[in-house]
Structure 1
Amino acid sequence: MMRSLFSAISGLRAHQTWMDVIGNNIANVNTTGFKEGRVRFTDVLYQLIHGAGAPGNNLGGINPEQIGLGASIAAIDTIQTQGALQMTGKPTDLAIQGDGFFIVQDASGNKFYTRDGAFGTDANGDLVNPATGMHVLDASGNTINIPNTIVSFTIDQQGNIVGVDANGNQQQIAQIGLATFANPAGLSKVGQNLFAETPNSGTANAGAPGTNGRGLIASGYLEMSNVDLAQEFTNMILAQRGFQANARTITTSDEMLQELVNLRR
C-alpha cells in the first residue's frame, strides 16, 4: 500500500507538469511564431518480486513478477510544425514558408533564432526586431541597413531587399538570411519568441532563403502560433482526469491503511 501512495504521487506530479505545458500552450495561442510543447510520459523503476525462469524438465517457464513504482516525464518536445500565415500588409512583417529561422543578434553579438518576423527599421535604418532591439542578419551574417536615400523597398521570396531612391533607381540592399538545423526540436526556448542553439540541435546552417532546404519569405505576413486549441482542451480533460485518478489512488490507499490500523481495536 505504501508503494501505491508513492506511485500515485509520481502520477500527480507528472500530470501537473502536463497541465503546466498545456497552460503555456493556451496562453500563447496568439503569440507570433510560437511552437507548442508536448509532454510524453514514461514508467519508472520496477521492483522485481520474482525473476523469470526458463522451461525445464516437465516444467514450463516462469514469467518475472514486477511491481511498477510510478510514472515520470520522459520528454517535453517542441513541435516545430508550420503555423498559419496572417496577412498584415506591412512590408517588414515577414513569414517563413517552410523550414528555417530568422537570425537575430543582440548587443553582445549573441545569435538567436526565431520564426517571429515582426520586424521594422530603427532611427539608423537598421532592420531590427522592435520588441527586443536585436538586429536581423543577412545571409552572410551581417546586420541589414536601409540607407536614408531609399524612399521605398520590397522584399521578395528569396529575401532580397530591393530599394528605390528618390530618382526611381533600384538597388539591391541585402538578402535576409535563414538558418536551418539538423534537429530543430533540440533548440532551447529562451523567451521573447527566441530559440538558442544547443549541443543536440546541431550548429546553424545559415544561408539564403530557398536554398539547401530553407523556406521562402512571405513579405506582409506573419506566422501564427501552431497551437491547436481543440487538441489542447482535449489534453486538458485527459490531464485533469489523470490527476483525479491518481488522487483517488491516494485516498483509497489511505482508507486501506486506516482499516489496517483499526485491526488493533
Structure 2
Amino acid sequence: MLTSLFTGISGLNANGLALSVIGDNIANANTVGFKASRANFGDILSQTLGGASAMQVGRGTMIIDIQKMFTQGTLETTSNPLDLAIEGDGFFVVRQLNGPTYYTRAGQFRLDKEGYVVDPNGYRLQAYQMDATGSVTGEIGDVYLAGLMSDPSATNKISMQMNLDSRDDIPSAPWTPPSGTNLPASNTYNFSTAITIYDSQGNPHLVYTYFRKIAQNTWEAHVVYNDSATGTNYVEVDFDSSTTGVQPITLSFNTDGALSDVYVTTPHVPPNPNFTPTASLNFSSWGVTSPQNVNLSFSNSTQYGSPNAVVFQTQNGYSSGNLIAVTVDQDGVVSGVFTNGQVKKVAQVVLAKFVAAHNLTKVGNNLYLESYGSGGPTYGAPGTVGVGKVYANSLESSNVDLAEEFIRMIAAQRAYQANVRVITTTDNMLNELMNIIR
C-alpha cells in the first residue's frame, strides 16, 4: 500500500514539471523566433509479479523527454531592413567574438558601432563573403558594412536618340568652333544638348553636342567639352585625326525621316545607321593620365517635321558613392545601395541545418548550441540543401499556440489534483489500518 504513495508523488513531480514547460511556453508567446517545448511522459515499471502469466505493476510516471517543436512561426512585417525571418528549415549562424558559434531563429539584427551586423546579444551574423565582382567566395565570415563605398566608373558609352526638325533651315553663319571660354555662336547651329559624363576618378564633366543642318536630310554633330580643371578651355572633339581640321559626326536620314547612316569623313557603303564613332577625351588636368575613349550612339534618331528634341539620352558612367541603405533578398544576399545609384552585393547570409534539431542545447537569449545528439551543422545558402528562404523586413513570431497550451495546462492541473487524491486516499486507508488495534 505504501507504494501507492510514491506512485502519487511521481505523478505530482511529473505534472508539476509539465506545468513548468507549459508556463515557459506561455511566457514566451511574444518572443521572436521562440520554439515551444512539449513534456513527454513515460510510465515507471518496477515490479513484476509471478504466476501463470506475468503480472506487472506500474510504479507511476516520469518525464522522459522535453521535446522542442520546430514548427514554422508566423512571419510579421517590420520596418527594419535587417530584420530577417526564415521560412522553412534552418538557423541563422551568429558568432561571439573570441567565443563559440550559436544558432538562432530570431533575426533581430542591426549594425553595431563598428559596422558589423549583430544580434541583440552583440554576436555577429555569419555569411558567405563576396569578392569585388559580387561572386560568392565560399568563405564564411562576419557581415561588415561600415566604410563601404561604390567605386567610380568611367563613361565609355553615350547613347542619344534625337528628333531633328526637318523644317529647319541651314544656318546662315558658318560653324565656329569653341575657343577658350567661348562656346560656339548660337547662329552657327540648329540645336544643342548636354550630358554629364564621368572620368575614371568619378569627376563629372559636361559634354555638349551641337547639331547643325548642312543639307536636306543631312546633319553634323559637333561634340565639345572642357579639358581644363583650373579654368574654362572648351575644345571640340576630332573624330578623325588623320584628316585636316576637326572632323565632326555626320548623320544622314532617309526621305521618310529614319536615320540611314552615321559616319565620319566619308559615308558607309552600304549605309550603317548603328555606327558608333569614338571620341577621345583628355582629362589630364584632373589627374587622369590616360585619354578616355567614349563611343557615341545615335540609333533610332529621326528627322521628322516636329521641333528639335532629345527623345532619350544616357551614359554608363557614375561617380563614387556612399552607403545609404541595405537590402536583403530571399536568397540571403546582402546588398548595399549607394548615393550614386549603384547596388553592390556584399555577402550572402548562411543558414545551418541539423538532422536532429530538437536535440540542440538551449542556452537562453534565443540561442542554441550544437550537441552530440543534434549532430553537426550543414551550411548552405537560403533555398539550398534543404534550408528555407530568408525574408527581410520580417520577423518570425513564436510558434506557441495559446489555446493548445491552455488545454494542456488544464490537463496537467487535473492530473495533479488526481494524484493528490491518490495520496490522501492512501493516507486514509493507512489510518483505517492503524485503527484495527483499537
Match of 2:57, SS state, is: strand
- Summarize deviations over 1:124-160 as a string: whole Å, max 9, x none: 211001x210000003420001133311121000000
Structure 2 partner of 1:74: 64
Give distance in 2, aligned partners of 1:153 and 1:41: 48
The structure with the largest strand share of the pair is 2
- Residue 126 (str. 1) matches residue 116 (str. 2): yes
Q: Deviations over 1:89-138 (max 9, x none)?
A: 21000000100000001122310000000100112211001x21000000
User: Using the alignment, how far apart are the partners of 2:2 and 2:144 within structure 1?
Assistant: 66
The counterpart of 1:115, out of the listed 82, 100, 105, is 105
1:167 Cα offset (Å): 1.5
Following superposition, the deviation at residue 45 of structure 1 comes to 2.5
Do residues 206 (structure 1) and 394 (structure 2) align?
Answer: no
1:103 aligns with: 93
Aligned twin of 1:143: 142
Q: 2:336 aligns with which of 142, 163, 172?
A: 163
Distance 1:15 1:147 in 2: 52
Distance 2:5 2:144 in 1: 62
Equivalent residues in 2 for 1:53-92, closer than 5 Å: 62-92=52-82
In the other structure, the counterpart of 2:396 is: 223
Between the aligned partners of 1:204 and 1:166, the Cα distance in structure 2 is 39
Larger deviation, residues 220-229 vs 136-145: 136-145
Quick one: distance in 1 between partners of 2:99 and 2:426? 57
Offset of residue 64 of structure 1: 1.1
Structure 1 match to 2:327: 154
- 2:416 pairs with 222, 243, 249, which one? 243
Give the letter aligned to residue 132 of structure 1: N
Distance 2:60 2:413 in 1: 18
Q: TM-score, normalised by structure 1?
A: 0.94
Which one-letter code corresponds to 2:86 in the other structure?
A: I
Q: Which of 362, 365, 370 matches 1:197?
A: 370
Residue segments in structure 2 that go unaligned for 5+ positions in a row: 129-138, 148-321
Question: 1:263, CA displacement in angstroms?
Answer: 0.5
Amino acid aligned to 2:417: Q
What is the number of equivalent residue pairs in this alignment?
Answer: 254
Query: In the alignment, what sits opposite 2:222?
Result: none
Asked if 1:182 corresponds to 2:181, the answer is: no
Distance 1:16 1:144 in 2: 44
Matches within 5 A, 1:1-40: 1-40=1-40
Describe the SS at the equivalent of 1:44: strand
Tell me the equivalent position of 1:46. Answer: 46
Supply the AA of the counterpart residue of 1:112. Answer: Y
Q: Select between 207-216 and 231-240 the one with higher mean Cα deviation.
A: 207-216
- Rg larger in structure: 2
Q: Which runs of 4+ in 1 moved over 4 A?
A: none
1:46, CA displacement in angstroms? 2.9
Q: Deviations over 1:193-244 (max 9, x none)?
A: 0011001111011121111111101100000000000000000000000000
Q: Please, what TM-score do these two structures have when normalized by structure 2?
A: 0.57
Distance 1:210 1:197 in 2: 22
User: Deviation of residue 168 (structure 1)?
Assistant: 1.6
Mark the runs of 5 or more structure 1 residues left unpaired by the alignment.
Answer: 52-61
In the alignment, residue 176 of structure 1 is paired with which amino acid? V
CA distance in 2, matches of 1:48, 1:152: 71
